[in-house]
Structure 1
Amino acid sequence: MKRLVLIVVLMSSSCFAQTRMFPAGALDTRNDLDVFRNQWYSRALQALHEPSLSSEAKDQRVESYRFLWLRSFNHPVSVRIYRNDKKQWMLTLKIASGAGGYPPGVLIDEETCGVKDVDMQAFLTRVNKTGFWTAPNPVNDQKGTDGSQWIIEGVKDGKYHVVDRWYPKDGVARELGWEMVFNLAGLEVPKQSIY
């Protein structure tokens, strides 16, 4: 029986090792909560068919930013801004069929478009003004069970950073997430579903 339990544990840990989208310790100071968040967010990103940005940081040429919006009772949403092979800025908006606090479901909507240089420069200025690259993380700010996670990731010059906040009303995650999902991606969301 002990051998069977060990095999199951090893199989589940090796499956998780393949699906980890965030560096260890990036999402929580407690190992068990860091693993939990990593699994939760990674499942959503996999359902959205999104790459691991922390892995992309190995390439010094990559610059990319992503907002992952996990609302307890609404569809998972990701907005990723990146440079394509022609050095043009692109934006991809994806939505999954499930809910942010439950199984993420499957990809149901995907749109990709170019980003105007003037809009991109304004966004990059906002990234710097908010102090994204030096914003503390992990921050254990969750004060309830239902709500939303606003996760902003960035890759630039071989450096990776993530800012993860629970239901932020202001600050770097709220400002950059809002800019990405509403202003750049143009997603229309009923007011009662913005949390």
Structure 2
Amino acid sequence: MRKIVLLLTSVAIGSIFTCCDKQRGQYSYPNNEKISKSNGEPIDSLSFFFPIKLVFSDSTLETGLDTFRLQWYSSQLFPSMEPVLFNYYLGRDIYRLSWLRSFHEPVFLTLYKNGGKVWMTVKQLDRQPDFMPTRIIPQFALPKVGEPYDTTRKIEELNSYPIQPPDRHANLKVNQTKVLSMSEWNEFESRLRRAGYWTMAPTQDVLGLDGSEWIIEAHFRNKYHVVDRWSPEDRYKEAGVYLIKLSGLNEDIY
């Protein structure tokens, strides 16, 4: 159901975002204290973890992330205690894969480099947090298959039941830190280059009813980029799979 709503929302956007092939200028971190603290901690549970546009010294790029997706993705990241990466530079180089699957708990793999040190945090929630309100309808009120009823009256009746706010709570099922080598960092960057990561459009109008979102962010002193793809089957996915294998998680990959 969540994917169906996302598909309809995407159709409403009605545009395909493309990136130019040239190297962009320096990224301008917003440093907006209403979004997050300087250490990346979100201000509250409603903070967005992704931007609607990327501002560079020579251009501006719309990400194509609509409110629906921003709410969905951010509601998964907030209970993971992950930092917001697009707002302030956090003093170290970072790559993060947010892996959001339809039938499994959210996974966040964050690769850090500070000087000659490289490490990864591996996080998995124990549930998928809700991000949209739901209406509480008792079973007896739902129409039975083949039962004749007045459509208008039935809709009015169903709409009279209370709306429950989204339950954004979740716990960390996995929370580990792994020391990695510089060669592993370099290998991941090499895979991103082969995928054309830095010139990929942030989003595409390619979605489906079920599957998974693969969101990779890059966070550097003068650079930030985000790419969101639904169930990719290309070199971009291969880069994400490399991180999953480094994490040691034994998860269904789709």
* TM-score, length basis structure 2: 0.60
Match of 1:97 among 126, 132, 152: 126
Q: Report matched runs for 1:7-26 at 5 Å.
A: 19-25=47-53
Q: For 2:229, what is the secondary structure of its paired residue?
A: strand
**Unmatched segments (≥5 aa) in structure 2:** 1-42, 55-61, 132-167
When Rg is computed on C-alpha atoms for both structures, the one with the higher figure is 2
Q: Quote the residue 1:179 is aligned against.
A: 242
The 2-side partners of 1:171 and 1:127 are apart by 8
Deviations 1:52-97 (A, max 9, x none): 11124x35x531000011001101000000124x641110000001
The 1-side partners of 2:66 and 2:53 are apart by 6
- Number of aligned positions between the proteins: 169
The 2-side partners of 1:70 and 1:157 are apart by 27
The 2-side partners of 1:137 and 1:35 are apart by 15
Q: Quote the residue 2:18 is aligned against.
A: none
Does residue 1:37 correspond to 2:69, yes or no? yes
Q: Report matched runs for 1:61-80 at 5 Å.
A: 61-80=91-110
**Unmatched segments (≥5 aa) in structure 1:** 1-14
The 2-side partners of 1:158 and 1:110 are apart by 29
Match of 2:112 among 75, 82, 87: 82
The 1-side partners of 2:129 and 2:223 are apart by 27
The change in CA–CA distance for 1:100 and 1:128 in structure 2 (over 3 A counts) is farther
Moved over 4 A (4+): 15-18, 25-28, 100-104
Structure with the largest fraction of helix: 1
Match of 2:192 among 120, 127, 131: 127
Q: Quote the residue 1:156 is aligned against.
A: 220
* TM-score, length basis structure 1: 0.76
